[in-house]
Amino acid sequence: GAGVSQSPRYKVAKRGQDVALRCDPISGHVSLFWYQQALGQGPEFLTYFQNEAQLDKSGLPSDRFFAERPEGSVSTLKIQRTQQEDSAVYLCASSYGQGRDYGYTFGSGTRLTVV
Amino acid sequence: QKEVEQDPGPLSVPEGAIVSLNCTYSNSAFQYFMWYRQYSRKGPELLMYTYSSGNKEDGRFTAQVDKSSKYISLFIRDSQPSDSATYLCAFHSQGGSEKLVFGKGTKLTVNP
């Protein structure tokens, strides 16, 4: 497609439930990023993939968060045993090469609400 | 000290006004400087990008970087109601992680 596609757009989860968020990057983009944006805050880095390799996961807040990109295209961010503090917008971004050279294109995000 | 400081506003201006948005940063490794615009319920979109001190102009937008003071600015001339959005400064390190470090964002409203 023309842009980065994320699904679902909205997700309401009961505390303790597992959720999976999907990101379809722009075709041919090798770099893929996940960010978490809390209300009234800027995006915070979670993790980075180059093709299928997860090169940086330093931003994942706990071992309840897991991301994968098994074939180097679609990526899934999984959150286990969701907590209220996980409520946020989860943004996916992709880039043709290194982001600083080619720029990043963001999706519209998945708004997760944990009740 | 936070890595990036950005006044969250909100900022409200009349149509046609000149808008000045600012960020300070503390990390000397930041070498790439960006401004993103984020409309409500949308992802950030890149507005301006530079890697050197000085000014860069694109239409009604001017990005200014002062590396010695660790200070960046975005100026919007002849502001329009369609400029109403949250503006995020973002930084990227040279030779380090690929991640972007964002400010909190400044919410701007341009009133017709």
For the segment A34-69, what is each residue's pLDDT rounded down to a tens digit?
Answer: 999 999 999 999 999 999 999 999 999 999 999 999
Establish whether the linkage from the previous residue to B10 is cis, with ω within 30° of 0.
yes
- Taking alpha carbons only, the member of B72, B71, B69 closest to residue B61 is B72
Interchain CB contact of A42 with B (< 8 Å) = yes
Contact residues, chain B to chain A, C-beta under 8 Å:
4, 6, 8, 32, 41-46, 49, 51, 88, 90, 92, 97-105
Tell me the per-residue pLDDT of B71-112, one tens digit each, with 9 for 90 and over.
Answer: 999 999 999 999 999 999 999 987 777 899 999 999 999 999
A76: Cβ contacts below 8 Å, ≥ 6 apart? A20, A21, A22, A23, A67, A68, A69
Closest residue on chain A to B95 (Cα) = A100
Written as one letter, the residue type at A104 is: Y
Reported as a single tens digit per residue, the pLDDT across B29-67 is 999 999 999 999 999 999 999 988 999 999 999 999 999
> Which pLDDT value is given to residue B51?
87
| CA atoms of B74 and B55, how far apart (whole Å) | 10
pLDDT for residue A1: 55
Interface test with A, best of B86, B100, B106, B107 (most A CBs within 10 A): B100
Closest C-alpha among B102, B111, B93, B99 to residue B8:
B102
Helix or strand run (H / E) with residue A78: strand A75-79
Give every CB contact of residue A41 below 8 A, 6+ residues apart in sequence.
B104, B105
- pLDDT at residue A100 greater than cutoff 70: no
| Cβ <8 Å between A43 and B100 | yes
User: Any long-range contacts for A23-27 (C-beta under 8 Å, 24+ apart)?
Assistant: A23/A74, A23/A75, A23/A76, A23/A77, A23/A92, A23/A94, A23/A107, A24/A73, A24/A74, A25/A73, A25/A74, A25/A75, A25/A92, A25/A94, A26/A1, A26/A2, A26/A94, A26/A96, A26/A105, A27/A1, A27/A73
